[in-house]
Chains A and B, each alone.
Chain A
């Protein structure tokens, strides 16, 4: 076990589970009056996944993370799964009343002619509520990653992740890639349709926005 693994293992075993539990409770409290949330979950990044990420490289082959313990900001991850696409923005805006963001990104494919991963990703400062006591800087993470997705976006990304897309991309045939894009397009279409139907048939959703 190298030094980085030792440091992260200690952090993982001592602090991350407790912080995750408190964070989940806090997000639930913030959204307690919000309907059409399928689930709210949190997780500490596994030791294996953290070490793998710490070794990742960019296109030029250089290491992405020179100071992984401080640089990797998704050591704590939270996910909110919503019913409709319009809920994503609504929930993000509501959370801004109780959390401070340092990054916000709507992840969409590069071109309008492509289909793939969709999701709202943000990095927030961990609220003081999640810490049992004061810590010196560097002992516990300061940030967490929050993903807000619809059920269809979530379903597609989970299956895509399970297939190990990142690892098999190079060996996939063009047809297989099209099939993956096709399933993403279907999920996008389902979201689009349910969003429209919710606007038409649910009295508390008066406007349609895409």
Chain B
């Protein structure tokens, strides 16, 4: 891999401002600690940027997108002028709430069997810090403003790579540490406003994909412990409603056993499908889920595989208007557990 150009811009929050944008940019040289840091940003973007995004189609239905156009322009020319157009766009979409940012545009060429062009756009948020310097006689401390930190929770980045500048570059992968912060304004401006993009994986697509993996996992295992874990997990998933997640991250946060987790992940045809982030839809998931459950006002819960539920439980309804229902089933007991309630 080879970085071909790095440009940096100080981006002021100017959304809604009347004053014209004043661009302050510079080209970063290919040596020193700053270069080493940015080289790491460039390399790590492949694993770090995990939210698949796609540029929006224009309102008139044509293949034009304002943000994609200036990105393509920068990929062709890789200079301060084309980079400043991107910085200007970010500035015009940044509110004062998001404050000052330092923008890096890192272009590169990747060679190999199928060569391609790569661009990493990273925004480091402003912060303050204290510098402490110690020598043999004394310690001096100094307050620093305008320190830009990558590790801060507001760090944002996006990775684009494609073999054709003119006809590709419709998709990218973003990272936005604020996506699940609940702060909709700040988390929306990076992907929706600045990049004029949306998640490439729609809520329906991602949710159905996950539900399908659950369903298949239930069908291929005879292990009762795993089945019970899957059942519990599919119910707990309702707590993720509206959150941006990947199958991998959600399964990890549920604390499933490795066996169950691996079984579900192995149902994804392409391993990267389990890594793609999307907005989870709990209602859709429950209709697609492998288990159907009914809870009665007596406290009893009935549960079975969705497609077998009606065969396994015979339902009779009372003739009175009391809405009483009676369920009956028969079989041999294969396991019995008492769960301790806190």
Q: How far does the alpha carbon of A136 sit from the alpha carbon of B262 in the complex, in Å?
A: 26
Beta-carbon contacts of B83-115 to A below 8 Å, as 1s and 0s?
Answer: 000000000000000000000000000001111
Determine if B272 and A134 form an interchain contact, defined as CB atoms under 8 angstroms apart: yes
Q: Is B57 an interface residue (CB 8 A)?
A: yes
Nearest CB to that of A97 among chain B residues? Answer: B204
| A135 CB → nearest B CB, Å | 8
Beta-carbon contacts of A128-165 to B below 8 Å, as 1s and 0s?
Answer: 11011110111100110000000000000000000000
Q: Which of A15-40 contact B (CB under 8 A)?
A: 29
Residues of the A chain whose Cβ atoms lie less than 8 Å from the Cβ of B164:
67, 70-71, 138
Q: How far does the alpha carbon of A105 sit from the alpha carbon of B61 in the complex, in Å?
A: 6
Determine if B61 and A136 form an interchain contact, defined as CB atoms under 8 angstroms apart: no
Determine if A98 and B52 form an interchain contact, defined as CB atoms under 8 angstroms apart: no
| A125 CB → nearest B CB, Å | 6
Determine if A102 and B170 form an interchain contact, defined as CB atoms under 8 angstroms apart: yes
Determine if A98 and B57 form an interchain contact, defined as CB atoms under 8 angstroms apart: no
Residues of the B chain whose Cβ atoms lie less than 8 Å from the Cβ of A137:
114, 116, 161-163, 168
Q: How far does the alpha carbon of A168 sit from the alpha carbon of B273 in the complex, in Å?
A: 48
Count B-side interface residues using an 8 Å CB cutoff.
35
Q: How far does the alpha carbon of A90 sit from the alpha carbon of B208 in the complex, in Å?
A: 20
Determine if A138 and B162 form an interchain contact, defined as CB atoms under 8 angstroms apart: yes
Residues of the A chain whose Cβ atoms lie less than 8 Å from the Cβ of B163:
70, 137-138
User: Could you tell me the dominant secondary structure of chain B's interface residues?
Assistant: loop
- A sample of 30 inter-chain contacts (CB < 8 A) reads A67-B166, A70-B163, A70-B168, A71-B164, A98-B204, A98-B208, A100-B54, A100-B198, A101-B57, A103-B57, A103-B62, A104-B61, A105-B61, A125-B200, A128-B52, A128-B201, A128-B270, A129-B273, A133-B270, A134-B271, A134-B272, A136-B112, A136-B113, A136-B116, A137-B114, A137-B116, A138-B163, A142-B168, A142-B170, A143-B170
Interchain residue pairs A-B with the least CB separation, the first 7: A138-B163, A70-B164, A104-B61, A70-B167, A137-B116, A138-B114, A97-B204
Q: Which residues of A contact B (CB under 8 A)?
A: 29, 67, 70-71, 97-105, 123, 125, 127-129, 131-134, 136-139, 142-143
Known: A104-B61, A138-B114, A138-B163. 18 other contacts (CB 8 A): A70-B164, A70-B166, A98-B202, A98-B205, A100-B54, A100-B198, A105-B61, A128-B52, A132-B270, A136-B112, A136-B114, A136-B116, A137-B114, A137-B162, A138-B116, A138-B162, A138-B168, A142-B168
